Each structure stands twice: as C-alpha cells, then as structure tokens.
Chain A
Amino acid sequence: MRRILHAIPLLLAVILLNYGLIAATPGDPVTALVGDFPAPAAYRAQVRHDYGLDKPVPIQALRYLVRVLHGDLGYSFANRQPVVSLIAGRLLATLELVGTALAFASIAGVLLGAVSAQFGGGIFDRATRGALTVGYALPEFWVGQMLILCFAIWLGWLPSQGAHAIRGAAGGWAGIADGLRHLLLPAIALSLRYLALIARVTRTSILDVLGANFVLAARARGAGSIRVLFGHALRNAAAPVLNTIGFNLGFILAGSALVETVFGWPGIGRLLFDSIESRDYPTMLGILLLVSVCVVGANLLTDIVHRLVDPRVA
C-alpha cells in the first residue's frame, strides 16, 4: 500500500521530467507545426502563443501536467487525431507483442536456467551458458532481420511484416492462426535477449539455493532432485528472477520500438519511432508517459508477487 502511495509522486515527477527532456532537445516544435517553408514571423509568434510555447519551460511543463491529469495528452498534428485515441488504437498490438515476448522469455528463461543449474558444470550447462552469452549480446533488430531472412525469405514459412494478412482479416480460428503466424517471429526477436538474461539470473540464483542447508535437510528426508528443484529451490530463487523480469519490462518496451519497426508491427513502438522522425512532440510525450506508467506498474507488481512468494517480506 505504501508503495502505491510512493508511485504517485514518482509518476508526477516523471511527467515533468519527460517534458523538460523533450523541451531540451534541439529543434523547434513551432517549425514542426508550421512546416519547413518560410512563414511570416508574426504567424510563428501567434502559433507559439496559441500553444503556450512562449511561456518558460517550467510553466509549460506544469500546464502539460494539469492537462495530463485531466486525461488530455494533446493533439498529434502528424496523425491528425488526439494522442489518447492514437495510442489507444495501437496499444493492443504492442501489448500482444510485448506480453507474448515477456511471457515466453520468462517461462523459457526460468526453465532453461533451472535445467542448467541442475546440471551445474556439465556439458549441457556449459553449452547453455555459452549460447546465453551470445543470445544476450545480439541486438533485437539484427535478430529480427536474420529471422526474416531465414524464415520468411529463404524458407518462406512465416510472414515478415504486419500483424495479420493484408487481404482482409479472416475470422474465427483462421484469423487467430493467422495472427499467431504473424506474431511468432517478432515475439522471438524481442524475447531472445531477455530470455538469455532471465535464464542466467535463474541459474545463478538456483545454484545459490541448492547449496543451502534446507536443501540438504530436504534431501535427508528422501527428496530427489526434481522435488528439491520445484519444491524448494525455485521459490527461494524467485526474488532475483522476479526483479530481473520486472526491471526489464521497460527495456522490452523500448526494444519493441525497434522490433516493431523491423516487422512493420502496428504498435506503440513503431508509433514512437515515427513520432520521433516527424518531431511529433505530444505523441512522443504520451508514449513516454505510457512507458513510465508501465515501468512503475511493473515494479509495483514485482513487489506484490514477491510478497506472495516470500512470507518473510511483510
């Protein structure tokens, strides 16, 4: 409960800070609004005044904050619609991609780390660790392009672009199958690094726990490796793993900007990329705010899950 109260001032500060950051970037929003052709100075001043851009930055930031608190994220001229509805239209696609990637990275990462720890020091463990180091070092956009090259272009098994087939969305099961086929490659590209990271943290954490005395006590009661792993080690090893997952949600969202661009995925990440290109400040700010809310929310959720898993955290 206290954590939730802490999150509120944090978010307010983040909104102000985001505004300050955008204001500090080179480039004049008025130019973006008016266009690049020469406009009368009086007209530019009028636009500047209309949007409150003639006020000092702190005042602008506070006014932005007040509008955000009223649920108004501004208007995107580049897309000719309010930022709120713009983001809302793209949110589902990103949640689908990021959610799938995060779930896959978490489940596969924890399993891989657990098995690797179980065979600590053996061939499987060493091979996995090598592969994980490589996996962690590969950037998402490069993995994405390689996946497109292999599975879409050479093998022709899977589509390379978009969230569903261009010629009309099929309904029912066919539609779902089509969506999954489109989801597979971007989700893998986005999850690979985090899968590697989660697997490594899980492995280390479980190896730590396997050396604990209560594991020895469980084995003295006749527990075998499987029971020790799932009955004792996994839950005790959960805290660092949960923290890693929660902490990296923000990075996955950031990574989705690149992956969505590579795969032409109609989500928030691609919108952010486009809004930076077109200097669409309200949209950039809106997405930054959304990401901030997600990160703060993920940390809160991590805390709550941590409490459920470990009774000592009261």
Chain B
Amino acid sequence: MTPPVLALRNLSVAIQGGPRIVEDVSLDVAAGEMVGLVGESGSGKSMTAYAALGLFPAPRVRIEAGAILLEGRDLAMLSQKEWRALRGSRIGMVFQDPAGFLDPVLPAGRQIAEALIVHGDRRGLAARVRALLAQVDLPESVALRYPHELSGGQKQRVLIAAALAMRPVLLIADEPTTALDVSVQAGILKLLDGLRQELGLAVLLISHDLAIVAQTCTRVFVMYAGQIVESGPTEAVFAAPRHPYTQGLLASLLDPQVRSELYAIPGTVPAAGMSPPGCRFHPRCPRARADPCALRPPVLTMRADGRMDRCWLADAD
C-alpha cells in the first residue's frame, strides 16, 4: 500500500519556552483527495498547516514532537536547507489574503516563476509560466501585470499558479477564499477541486467556513484549542456531528430555509496555555457535566464506524 501523501502523527507545535499551540494532532491526506481542517480562529489549524511546511509566520514557534510524513518520509527533523528544497517543489501553499501574499513591486509572472528559479529549474521558463497561467484560467497578459492591477480572484489564481509551478504532490490551502467576494469564492474552489482531480494533488484545505468544506472535502478534521476534537467523512460528520463543538459550529451556519434565531457558541477559544482542566470545550459546552467533563480530559476515541471524537458524552447518545 502506498503511504498517504501527507501524514501528521501526534504533531505538537509550541512557542519556544511557552505553551503548546498545536497538541497531538494526527491526520492524513491521500493523493487526489481534499481534506478539510476546520475550527475557529485561534484553534491552531493554520499553525498545523504551516508545520507541514516547516515554516511559521511567527518567530520562536517550533515543532515540538511528532512526525510529519511526506510520502512516507519524516520531515520533522530536517535541516533548514532540506526544508527549503521541499518548499515550493514537493509542497505548495496558498494563502488567506492574496493581496498581502504577493510582492507588490514584482510582476505576477516573476512570482509564478520564483519556485522554478529557486529550485534551479529554468528550462523554458516563459512558456511554463504561460502554461501555468492557462491552468488557472488566466490570460497570458497577466504575467506582466503587477498585483495592484489584478482583482482579488486573479491574485489568488496567480498564487495558486505560483504554488503549482514545480508540480508539488501536496497543496496546503490556508483559508484560500476568506478574503474574496462570495461570487469569486466558488470559482477558486472549483479551480482547486479541478486541479486536485487533474493532477492527483493531495489538498489540505484549512477553513473556518463549514459550507466550503462540505462542498469540497471528502473528509474533515475539526480542531478546537489546538486539538482535533472530531474527524470523519464530511457527509457523516455534518449529518450527525458527535462533538458538541461541531454541533455548535453547524448550528451557527445560516440556513436560508429556516428562519430562526441566530446561534453563536457562547464564549471564545481559550488562548494557548490557558485551556481549562478537563475537556477544553466544557466551559462553552451546553451539555457539559461536572463529572467527568470538568475533571478529566477526554481522549480522541475511534468509534465503531471509524469516525473519531474527543467527547465524554458522545457514546452515551
């Protein structure tokens, strides 16, 4: 059996000399599969994604424990130089705010070509940039345009083309549609899904938007306060969520068919290192009991149907 393209095994990420912001996360993404990682901001989902790239947006954040397996090879102990060789070549990343993630003083084509240049693969550069633009449905003329001359959706397509330049096996998409107009979002999602099929890409989609995950991902992992709290096939999880946090997230979705009170989960995600004892979600949980929820932390448990959850009360249903 071929190993999954990406497999995180008990991954923990911590601020140096400080609290863990990602704890004991395991997940995997197979070739040609799009997997969703959802949670509120501050849940650690983006940090999990950056860990898979060996790169963090904040200083002094380190991979503390666990393994990052890319096609079976553990990356957690790689040197910076070895990481650099993988970034942009085997692993591509697409970001949340396309405006900020494009260099404002370089034309789009130069940024698409960057991975090719960095990894020393300059053959037929111009033609390959044109082919990449075609692949993300942009006209060739975009190569000479500067970011400020492009629309939000075009910028995100340029970033996707840049991420795909070296034909990576894994694409990490961190909230790729959050900063875009709703009308543009669908186009970007469709493009990502098309590329997944066409190139056999493994895609890890990070999002706080359950609707997007429901449309595009076959499996979903739900994160809360640095931990996975529920996982399983998207359809099953969304049809019958087992963890109260997932239930709360789904209840806060707007349903145009039903006119009802807006629902919001009370409270906020605890900051890293400030998690309460017992279940990390219990202060916000409508069903929490004094025992065991507030006393002992639940473990991530696999149920009979293969789905997993981290809730004391889930098997009581």
> Do most interface residues of chain A lie in helix, strand or loop, or is the interface mixed?
helix
Please tell me if B57 contacts chain A, counting CB pairs below 8 Å: yes
Inside 8 A of A311's CB, which chain B residues have their CB? 104-105, 107, 146, 148
Please tell me if A214 contacts chain B, counting CB pairs below 8 Å: yes
Please tell me if A232 contacts chain B, counting CB pairs below 8 Å: yes
Inside 8 A of B159's CB, which chain A residues have their CB? 217
A220 touches B87 (CB 8 A): yes
Chain A positions near chain B (C-beta within 8 angstroms): 212-214, 216-224, 227, 231-232, 235-236, 309-312
Complexed CA–CA distance, A218 and B102 (Å): 9
A220 touches B55 (CB 8 A): yes
Please tell me if B88 contacts chain A, counting CB pairs below 8 Å: yes
Please tell me if B103 contacts chain A, counting CB pairs below 8 Å: yes
Closest to A233 in B: B103
Complexed CA–CA distance, A219 and B55 (Å): 8
Q: A219-B55, A220-B87, A221-B118 are in contact. Are A213 and B105 (CB under 8 A)?
A: no
Complexed CA–CA distance, A190 and B97 (Å): 46
A309 touches B88 (CB 8 A): no
Residues of B in contact with A, size category: 20 to 34
Please tell me if B263 contacts chain A, counting CB pairs below 8 Å: no
The 7 closest A-B pairs by CB, nearest first: A221-B88, A222-B88, A213-B100, A221-B115, A217-B101, A222-B87, A214-B103
Q: How close is B68's CB to chain A, nearest CB, in angstroms?
A: 15
Most chain A beta-carbon contacts within 10 A, residue among B86, B103, B118: B103
Complexed CA–CA distance, A219 and B80 (Å): 11
A216 touches B57 (CB 8 A): yes
A214 touches B101 (CB 8 A): yes
Interface string of B97-120 (1 = CB under 8 A from A): 100111111110000001100110
Instruction: Name the one of A212, A220, A310 contacting B88, with C-beta atoms under 8 angstroms.
Output: A220
Complexed CA–CA distance, A222 and B86 (Å): 7
Q: How close is A155's CB to chain B, nearest CB, in angstroms?
A: 45
B95 touches A217 (CB 8 A): yes
Inside 8 A of A213's CB, which chain B residues have their CB? 57, 95, 97, 100-101
Closest to A217 in B: B101
Inside 8 A of B97's CB, which chain A residues have their CB? 213
A312 touches B146 (CB 8 A): yes
Please tell me if B128 contacts chain A, counting CB pairs below 8 Å: no
A218 touches B103 (CB 8 A): yes
Instruction: Name the one of A218, A221, A236 contacting B105, with C-beta atoms under 8 angstroms.
Output: A236
Closest to A311 in B: B146
Q: A213-B95, A311-B148, A312-B146 are in contact. Are A221 and B114 (CB under 8 A)?
A: yes
A232 touches B103 (CB 8 A): yes
Instruction: Name the one of A216, A223, A312 contacting B118, with C-beta atoms under 8 angstroms.
Output: A223
Q: How close is A35's CB to chain B, nearest CB, in angstroms?
A: 61
Given A220-B92, A221-B115, A312-B104, 14 new contacts (CB under 8 A):
A214-B102, A217-B159, A220-B55, A220-B87, A220-B93, A220-B95, A221-B163, A221-B165, A222-B84, A232-B103, A309-B105, A311-B104, A311-B107, A312-B105
Inside 8 A of A212's CB, which chain B residues have their CB? 100
Q: A222-B115, A223-B118 are in contact. Are A214 and B104 (CB under 8 A)?
A: yes
Complexed CA–CA distance, A237 and B28 (Å): 40
B87 touches A219 (CB 8 A): yes
B148 touches A227 (CB 8 A): no
Inside 8 A of A232's CB, which chain B residues have their CB? 103, 106
Complexed CA–CA distance, A219 and B159 (Å): 13
Complexed CA–CA distance, A231 and B115 (Å): 13
Would you mind naming 27 contact pairs between A and B with Cβ atoms under 8 Å apart?
A213-B101, A216-B101, A217-B95, A217-B101, A217-B162, A218-B103, A218-B114, A219-B87, A220-B53, A220-B93, A220-B95, A221-B92, A221-B114, A221-B162, A221-B165, A222-B89, A222-B119, A223-B84, A223-B88, A223-B118, A224-B84, A231-B114, A232-B103, A236-B105, A311-B105, A311-B148, A312-B105
Complexed CA–CA distance, A214 and B106 (Å): 11
